[in-house]
Amino acid sequence: MGILNKYHIMLMGILNKYHIMLMGILNKYHIMLMGILNKYHIMLMGILNKYHIMLMGILNKYHIMLMGILNKYHIMLCPHCCPSVLYISVLFFGQMGDKEDSSGSFSEEAKTEEQKAKLIHPRPSLISPELKAMIRIRTKYQALKRRRLDSATGLFASGRPSTGPDPSLPTDPGRPSMGPGPPTAPEIFTSNVKQATHRRRRRKGSRVLFPNNCCKVVPSDKDRSRAKPFFVLFGIIVSLQVYNAIENLDDHVAPYDLEGLDKTLRREVFGQQGAIEELMEHLQGYLSTYAHSQPLALALHGPSGVGKSHLGRLLVRHFRSVLGEDLVVQYFTLHHCPVQGDVGQCARELSLWVEEIVEHAEAQEKIPVFVLDEVELMPAPLLDVLQGLLQPNQTNERLNVIYVLLSSLGQEEITRHILQNVSCTAKPARALLRHTLAEHHPLWAEAGLDIVSLTLLEKSHVMECLLEEMTREGFYPDHGHIERLAEELSYFTTMGHQYSQNGCKQVVARVNLL
């Protein structure tokens, strides 16, 4: 044990040394990373402000130019709204919408109307020659476009266009002829019909207007937004922090080896699976962190012989193996404070003992464990000391303590509740049990004290106790012999279940008689 303690101390020192080095490295790189993020954040904000100012200047510049052009043409057109100008405007916008159904010669009609307008209103036109040329080009283009569409829709089944209009049909004076020549004979339609192919017109995409004094340039990597890399780095930092917090929880629980404790209790304590699960939940939640608002106090109550003292010995043995002998205390009331002893002196000794162990554990950054057995025999001054130790308004080192109280108080209520609820899996009535225990002393009325009740042992559990004791004493585990020994014990019989009245307390005496 001395060699093991020596190497254990050396190993803990090495681990603490590398833990400090690792934490220093992490803090160093964390500071560097935060500085880099602040630097790029300032650069990003400067770039955004710069391009925002440039964009607003360009928009203001072209807004002023556009308003000047509109004002110029508005002054030119509004005072001289002659019929010719109105006609040309209507003609221009009507051709843009393609809503005119007539396919005649628009250029000739436009010229005729223009000549009539000149005769009626001989005033000079204020429209520039360039605008007139644009209107004439637009009109000719629309006329050619309609002729092409009419020729495409006038195809026959053979694919040849007709050389002239049908003389039997009335002609439209405004519609131009499709071609010179005499009318031809009617075509003979066959089954080989070729449908005219209509191509779908592509929709032109929206064009981007660039200023005249600049060229189309793709933004370089320096001008691109750095928001995406920033958010990626931010997500990495948050993930590392969450991972570090989870690892810290595991680091706090790992030294106590709660998995090994759970396996030991399930293997050596019979018939108390529910109580073991509840006990491990409390220990897991409390030992996962080192900062607490009050101590962990667990009161294990049950009838005689169900394994309370055995469970307490297993807890002491396990925590002494992981924490050391000096941080785990097993307190027996009749041994440390006899009936004929001074009760006040016992209370003072218990208080000083707890304070000494707590200070020693605080120096090692560990949580001490106190297992107090035979609590039902404790006098009132000792219970008052325990009640004061469970208060939340204490120093930090007094808050990082685990107290396990083992008592048979309330065994009548537990036995009655189990026998009355055999057909269902109802949990013990803790409110009733707490009320009954609070009548004995106000310690059990404290909100920080968690009560865990142990159940009665069935006949199968007693047989397991006999098998283990016989194996320990070196006897051959004969199943028939074990059943005969189990039949000699007394049981509560209800609803087809048999519960031992004394648990496994008489098992050792029965095996010693063999």
Q: How far apart are CA 10 and CA 243, in angstroms?
A: 28
- The domain spans of the chain are 2-79, 81-152, 251-455, 460-512
d(CA 33, CA 24): 14
**Alpha helices per DSSP H over 154-203:** none
What pLDDT does residue 421 have? Answer: 83
DSSP string, 119-143: HH--SPP-S-HHHHHHHHHHHHHHH
Residues 107, 113, 114, 115, Cα dihedral to 10°? 110
- Is 333:378 a contact under the CB 8 Å cutoff? yes
Q: Are 436 and 483 in contact (CB under 8 A)?
A: no
| Strand 328-332 to 369-373 pairing | parallel
Alpha-carbon distance of 513 to 492, in angstroms, equals 24
Q: What is the pLDDT of residue 456?
A: 93
Domain 251-455 maps to which CATH number in 2.60.40.1730, 3.40.50.12190, 3.40.50.2000, 1.10.3720.10? Answer: 3.40.50.12190
Cβ proximity of 303 and 398 under 8 Å: no
Backbone φ and ψ of 403, nearest 5°:
-115, 130
Is 381 in contact with 345 (CB distance < 8 Å)? no
pLDDT in tens, the chain (514 residues): 556 666 666 666 676 666 667 666 766 666 666 667 667 666 766 676 676 666 666 666 665 566 666 555 544 544 444 444 434 443 444 444 444 444 444 445 545 555 554 444 445 555 778 788 888 898 998 998 888 888 877 654 444 444 444 444 444 444 444 444 444 545 554 545 445 555 666 666 566 666 667 666 665 665 566 788 888 888 999 888 887 766 555 566 778 899 999 999 999 999 999 999 999 999 998 998 877 889 999 999 999 999 999 999 999 999 999 999 999 999 999 999 988 888 999 999 999 999 999 999 999 989 999 999 999 999 999 999 999 999 988 888 889 999 999 999 999 999 999 888 887 655 666 788 899 999 999 999 998 899 999 999 999 999 999 999 899 888 888 888 899 999 989 999 988 889 999 989 888 888 888 7
pTM of the model: 0.54
| Token representation of residue 400 | 């990082």
Q: Answer whether 469's CB lies under 8 Å from 428's CB.
A: no
